[in-house]
Structure 1
């Protein structure tokens, strides 16, 4: 069936909405059974449209949430097989689900992910790797892999994920869709943490129009709010990008009439230290959350995830202090930058998706050099796809200062022309 956009959904009457939602739920089940992609949780859910929400923009809209967010009466597995998580159900909905209920949305599924959100690839040894929506042998990006797949493959118009070090931004880039991450703690109540001081929530849509629609609805703005002029700079560090990625990214930036800086020396010098600092601080926080489970259920963890978490107990006091110093330096840099500009545009990833067997630690390190400056500074970012050809894409992240709709809506106005 042809997927509906959010705007097309708004035009449907109540009976047509109900019929379409049932067909989508059937497609989700078929996707799991036929392709065994593990993009979706097998715990398909059904939420009904409330009488009070039927005149709202997102009324009855089916959406999915990453399997980190609680849904009352359902378990939150974080795509793991830990017995303690398989055996218990959430007592109440996560904050984002409560907010979507206020806006009239209907949660129909939970989506798969890298176990405990500790990965950027979409791989999961327990439930299967989430594939790329156009290149089934390639990676979708993670850790919010299933949510990105659900939207990019056309099963749902909206899905929620989390981003700690790039887990919304990278799947957005590789799957060729729009994504947004907000700020640490914002609507994160009722979500299982990975590294709480870095964890952010956000969502995916297929188009700029749909992203603008959801942002406007979330902040209860008029359907097409007026946007103000904004200014910013674009910086594309060529040494971290493949030639085809750099070429496509610069071409899109020129089409959007962005001001491109050939070099930003201080920021450039901080990119690798940011990646190193993030690895230290993220793993330290993850270990603090997981250490008791590791003692009891260590054999049930994905070995790669377990190794990343266990690093958190091994850092020296000097290494932690250096990481904290780097975090302060990048925050200070952004504070000064945002005194003069509204956004900073940067690449999300070195290049397009790769086959699973070509994923490497070096790729992870290079990606984190591009994503962790925003993570360490606790800043929101809008992800915009950049197509290299008909099946492969990368992305630009527009980093901005405050979790308000002004800058992303203005940027999305620009993107509607591409």
Structure 2
């Protein structure tokens, strides 16, 4: 993902963007139905039949092509939606908050990633709801409503790209910025366009590295995750025997600057204190960058925010950051550590999330445990600059199950190719597992008090 972080900063609106992976190319596009007028557009409030995924509906048609184009456009026939953090020329980028929308003018430019998608044949159908100021992970938004999780409607959809996730899960679009796709073939097509990679390259041998300690932390049994993935790759060529490691201990040993943020405790199992420290660095960096970019706006506008978001925004604004260089040094060391572990052929396998999604409107009652445990796994790709792809693996106790595959910084195409190669075998194995007798639970019992 060597180009990813720099490019995504050019594609998002003024807000800083923290996402697992963002890729784009440059280009220019004029909206088919939009002139240079500066009139502020009012959001079209969409009814709940779309699961509350959309904030605004519009059609941005693909860029006009020559009368006889040389070949079919790579994204022709695909539809997509965009998170309300990307610029659309002539529209106000709302950043998930009505006060932000009220105090900003319509954009006079198009996000580069949007331009690239339209130039390559995809059609954009609207903007989606997101957590306010991209400062949450639940997907709840007190102003625009919380998108309905189409798979488990009584539970939160997750964030901050909740509307984008719901738009894809409910099959309203083929993919959505916030980076969701209906299947790996769509993800592969979009990725190849945005990364500007060759369509065909020699297949490289692959080696999966399972973070056993993180699956131990997960509340989903390994039969539905580690076992499924292991059995699936047995049927495929080009895969080395999988490797199993205690990833938290590896991080503790190879990211020395984390010691300044860790707990001086020796009784935490599985070295998980290292990931607690890593996630605290991630949150501190996000807060520091938010303050750097938006402190003046927050103090001048005094925006209306949901309770949880308000707490985090105020904490970010009021904190003095005296060790910023060390925060960024942790990221540099984490990137090198993951590269050293995975080398040119490795893919880290982790649980996407370790807890089932909480019930709607229950977040005021939950402890910080859910947030901290979620950030522990989210911080791996975020702090290393790696690319992460989440793949669904059926259900457990009524909730969807998934695993995430993480590549080292710069190996986006390698990961996209691997996920496409594995997907059919993974789904076949999920079907087999769903008809099998349960295996003994080998996940153990990680003490929640560690969090």
Please indicate the TM-score interval, normalised by the length of the shorter structure.
0.7 to 0.9
The secondary structure found in structure 2 opposite 1:125 is coil
Deviation at residue 232 of structure 1 after TM alignment? 3.2
Deviation at residue 73 of structure 1 after TM alignment? 0.8
Deviation at residue 259 of structure 1 after TM alignment? 1.6
Q: Distance in 1 between matches of 2:225 and 2:128?
A: 29
Partner of 1:216: 192
Which of 236, 242, 262 aligns to 1:259? It is 242
Partner of 1:387: 394
Partner of 1:409: 417
Alignment of structure 1 residues 185-204 onto 2, 5 Å: 203-204=179-180
Alignment of structure 1 residues 127-138 onto 2, 5 Å: 127-138=144-155
Query: 1:387 touches 1:394 (CA, 8 Å); kept in 2?
Result: yes
The secondary structure found in structure 2 opposite 1:300 is coil
The secondary structure found in structure 2 opposite 1:100 is helix
Query: 1:39 touches 1:112 (CA, 8 Å); kept in 2?
Result: yes
Q: Distance in 2 between matches of 1:217 and 1:412?
A: 15
Q: Distance in 2 between matches of 1:93 and 1:207?
A: 27
Query: 2:388 touches 2:406 (CA, 8 Å); kept in 1?
Result: yes
Deviation at residue 318 of structure 1 after TM alignment? 5.5
Question: Alpha-carbon deviations, 1:34-92, whole Å to 9, x = none?
Answer: 44743111343342562347821212422111110001111100121116546521111
Alignment of structure 1 residues 65-144 onto 2, 5 Å: 65-82=82-99, 85=102, 88-144=105-161
Partner of 1:47: 61
Partner of 1:309: 313
Partner of 1:233: 209
Q: Distance in 1 between matches of 2:301 and 2:45?
A: 31
Q: Distance in 2 between matches of 1:385 and 1:213?
A: 19
Q: Distance in 2 between matches of 1:33 and 1:84?
A: 20
The secondary structure found in structure 1 opposite 2:171 is coil
Unpaired segments ≥5 residues, structure 2: 1-42, 234-240, 252-270, 427-451
The secondary structure found in structure 2 opposite 1:45 is strand
TM-score by length of 2: 0.70
Query: 2:138 touches 2:159 (CA, 8 Å); kept in 1?
Result: yes
Which of 273, 279, 296 aligns to 2:300? It is 296
Report the structure number with the largest CA radius of gyration.
2
**2:15 is the counterpart of 1:32:** no
TM-score by length of 1: 0.75
Q: Distance in 1 between matches of 2:230 and 2:108?
A: 50
Unpaired segments ≥5 residues, structure 1: 1-28, 162-202
Partner of 2:5: none
Q: 1:113–1:34: structure 2 CA closer, same or farther, 3 Å change rule? A: closer
Deviation at residue 134 of structure 1 after TM alignment? 1.8
Partner of 2:183: 207
Q: Distance in 2 between matches of 1:34 and 1:395?
A: 27
RMSD: 2.9
**2:319 is the counterpart of 1:335:** no
Q: Distance in 1 between matches of 2:416 and 2:100?
A: 41
Which of 138, 153, 158 aligns to 2:175? It is 158
Query: 2:59 touches 2:123 (CA, 8 Å); kept in 1?
Result: no
Alignment of structure 1 residues 344-363 onto 2, 5 Å: 344-359=348-363, 360=366, 361-363=368-370
Query: 1:78 touches 1:117 (CA, 8 Å); kept in 2?
Result: yes
Query: 2:62 touches 2:118 (CA, 8 Å); kept in 1?
Result: no
Q: 1:327–1:299: structure 2 CA closer, same or farther, 3 Å change rule? A: same
Partner of 1:200: none
Q: Distance in 2 between matches of 1:114 and 1:372?
A: 18
Query: 2:335 touches 2:386 (CA, 8 Å); kept in 1?
Result: no
Query: 2:79 touches 2:173 (CA, 8 Å); kept in 1?
Result: yes
